[in-house]
Amino acid sequence: MLREVERHFDLSELTQQQQLLADLGSIDFLKAVLSQSGPFGRVAAVSSFGAESAVLLHQVAAVAPQTPVIFIDTQFHFDETLAYRDELVTQLALQDVRSYSIDPLSQKRLDPARMLHLTNADRCCHARKVDVLTRALRDFDGWISGQKRFQSSGRAGINRVDWDDERNKWKFNPLADWHSDDLEAYRIEHGLPHHPLRQFGYSSVGCAPCTSPIAADEDPRAGRWRGTQKLECGLHRNPNIIAASVA
Ligand code: SF4
């Protein structure tokens, strides 16, 4: 049985690691983060297998295909997302993809009719994503996210090395400074498939009831929770508390 990891925030250590890793390309960055002998301990990748997931997963697989990859199965994913997950797992030969979902007791208590997303999306996301991720990461010291700064104004302040202050773990965003053109060039160069819904105007793919296609001039995440004030599911608390961070 693995221990539950307990880490404590250390601003000087965070700043030091941000500086050390600042100039590394994403592959070398991942090598440093995933190094067995490095300072970060056990690190998992977290992926929604969404519209922009393939590049990060390809790089993780290239560096360390045995890296645990956590998939939060909200039980509201598009069938296309589940098929895409299976396709990428096979193509990239990812060795340790782990699916986590809301536990049956919480489901019964919080969302017995599976309608919570219609009345309180924040609570639904918390139960089906945030709490589930916290449980999935219990045995890890840090996690890798595919967030990019260009995706939304709320993500513009993320750092490549961050601190997840809610879970007290490292958080890494190797592609923070990538743009959509970079992702597309990499995808083509490495023969990575598009998410099947991209062709229908879905530039960001989350749960089926809460995701819609976007127009050409919209923010990439405009199709998420359309018509509401909600912008994020709550997995990512960015920008974080680190006032002295160096991007
Ligand atoms: S995106 Fe929608 S369905 Fe998915 S967890 Fe959040 S509120 Fe629930």
Give the chain's domains with CATH numbers. 11-210 (3.40.50.620)
Comparing CA positions, the residue from 206, 209, 198 lying closest to residue 233 is 206
pLDDT score at 240: 44
pLDDT score at 137: 97
CB 32 within 8 A of CB 63: no
DSSP letter at 222?
T
pTM: 0.92
Q: Cα of 120 to ligand 1 centre, how many Å?
A: 9
pLDDT score at 9: 84
Q: Where does the pLDDT of residue 86 fall: very low under 50, low under 70, confident under 90, or very high at 90 and above?
A: very high
pLDDT score at 3: 55
pLDDT digit string (tens) for 156-173?
889 999 999 999 999 999
Count of all residues that appear for the chain in the document: 247
Burial of residue 210 (number of CB atoms within 10 Å: 0-12, 13-18, 19+): buried
pLDDT digit string (tens) for 172-227?
999 999 999 999 999 999 999 999 999 999 989 999 999 999 998 988 888 999 98
**Mean of pLDDT values over 99-127:** 97
Q: Cα of 152 to ligand 1 centre, how many Å?
A: 19
HEC string of 11-44? HHHHHHHHHHHCCCCHHHHHHHHHCCCCCCCCEE
**Mean of pLDDT values over 233-244:** 57
pLDDT digit string (tens) for 19-69?
999 999 999 999 999 999 999 999 999 999 999 999 999 999 999 999 999
Q: Cα of 140 to ligand 1 centre, how many Å?
A: 25
221 vs 16: CA distance, rounded Å: 32
235 vs 107: CA distance, rounded Å: 19
Comparing CA positions, the residue from 173, 186, 124, 233 lying closest to residue 18 is 173
Collapsed DSSP state (helix, strand, coil) of residue 77: strand
Known active-site residue 233: yes
CB 32 within 8 A of CB 24: yes
Which atom of ligand 1 is nearest the CA belonging to 129?
5
- The active-site residue, picked from 124, 125, 207, 233, is 233
